[in-house]
Structure 1
Amino acid sequence: MTRPPSAAQRRVIEAADPVTGRLRGTPAQLAALVKRGLAFRHPRPPHDHFLTPAGHRVREAIPEPPADSTPDTGVFTARVGGEEEPPVSGPARLREVRGAWQGLLELRRMTNPDGAVDRPCGWERTHLVRAAALALEAAGHRPAGGDTDGYRVRATPQPEAVAVYAPHSAALAACAATLQEAGWQAGEYTEPRTRARFLLASPRRV
């Protein structure tokens, strides 16, 4: 039976970049994670270490501390639309979003078998809602929130597919174009009961 990571290793995993999985730690800590199959050393300089899919699963299983007992850590989170608080905007948010998107493109380059950056990688396929929301926000689409109309990204029962809603047909078409450019397949559908139009989007494989 495989032993769980030590407390020190869990701290290194927990502190990994939420998008790229890039790790920081001592050489001994990083080597131990590589030995356990939870991290890999990138072959190209500067030979940084990143979480493997198994490492990402460990990171996601680490319970988050209660929100009222810890300060905001400032970790970037893509906005899926419909959050209770108003959407954050301004130059600082724009820099965060652009940085996260560039990090995601780098993750594609490092983890896609052929190094392609024009289609989603494994991390995106296991974080569909967050990945689609990041693609939309990075392209300048505004998420819904408070009294603001905008996109909403939601999970669906279908494997590897998310639903994207927008306030009108032109916005929905613009979201479809953005996702297609980001390596997703997107088609418009109508909900049978509400007659609302939405996109069904999934990561492109080829």
Structure 2
Amino acid sequence: MTRPPTAAQRRLIDAADPVTGRLRGTEAQLAALVRRGLAFRHPRAPHDHFLTAEGHRVRQGVPERPEPAAQAHASAGVFAARTGDEPDAPRPGPARHREVHSAWQGLLELRRMTNPDGSVHRPCGWERTHLVQAAALALEAAGHRPAGPEAGGYRVRETPQPEAVAVHEPDGEALRACAATLEGAGWQVSGHREPRTGTRYLLASPCRV
């Protein structure tokens, strides 16, 4: 379990902008939050600081969870959307819902800050370098069910194509709903069939315009 933020750090977190997570404080205070994984410094001027997904969870009062030993090297606050292939997937529930919602809002803010025209409707550079996680976050944030021990649910996987992921969902109606969600999130989507099995799946790529 990571050490909880100090009272002074908690005051900064609580005073962050409720929509964007933008922080105000001294350079030393903000740097300390960055080291804790609770904030990040935007690379473009004026180099403002914003809450990470973990910072949003702290502000919302969601308890931090102990990390598995295999993930001990990961920095605090790392969020992973469910792709449908996780052996130990996080349990659904209010805490997970808040976590996903916070991560999606953070991604929209990252789009606004990094897309040249400030658009939140078009994927940003981070999404193009994290295709599987970005597509999975769009699906999970929209309420689609990832695959798990029970039958059904989506799976997002890499493909040989440089800027495309494959989305599998055994239920045809749910697959069409996944396509609509990704298109609404700024992805270009096309339907395909596996040559041998005839199973339908989607190819999705981030739109550039």
Do the structures match in fold with TM over 0.5? yes
- How far off is 1:41 after superposition? 4.5
Residue in structure 1 matched with residue 188 of structure 2 by the alignment: 185
In 2: Cα distance, 1:139 partner to 1:87 partner: 17
Structure 1 unaligned runs (5+)?
A: 1-19, 31-37, 51-64
Instruction: Write the deviation string for residues 96-139 of structure 1: whole angstroms up to 9, x where unpaired.
Output: 00000000000000000100000100000000000000000000
State whether residues 78 and 137 of structure 1, in contact with CA within 8 Å, keep that contact through their aligned partners in structure 2: yes
In 2: Cα distance, 1:106 partner to 1:68 partner: 27
- How far off is 1:92 after superposition? 0.2
Alignment length (residue pairs):
163
SS at match of 1:79: coil
Is 1:150 aligned to residue 150 of structure 2? no
SS at match of 2:134: helix
Is 1:48 aligned to residue 55 of structure 2? no
In 1: Cα distance, 2:102 partner to 2:113 partner: 17
User: Post-superposition, which runs of at least 4 consecutive aligned residues in structure 1 deviate over 4 A?
Assistant: 22-25, 27-30, 68-74
In 2: Cα distance, 1:81 partner to 1:133 partner: 8
In 2: Cα distance, 1:28 partner to 1:87 partner: 30
Residue in structure 1 matched with residue 206 of structure 2 by the alignment: 203
Describe how 1:109-124 pairs up with structure 2 within 5 A: 109-124=112-127
Describe how 1:5-154 pairs up with structure 2 within 5 A: 26=28, 40-43=43-46, 47-48=48-49, 67=70, 75-86=78-89, 88-154=91-157
State whether residues 152 and 171 of structure 2, in contact with CA within 8 Å, keep that contact through their aligned partners in structure 1: no
SS at match of 1:67: helix
In 2: Cα distance, 1:201 partner to 1:177 partner: 11
Aligned-residue CA RMSD (Å): 3.3
In 1: Cα distance, 2:132 partner to 2:202 partner: 13
Q: Give percent identity, aligned residues only.
A: 64
Structure 2 unaligned runs (5+)?
A: 1-19, 33-40, 52-67
- How far off is 1:196 after superposition? 1.0
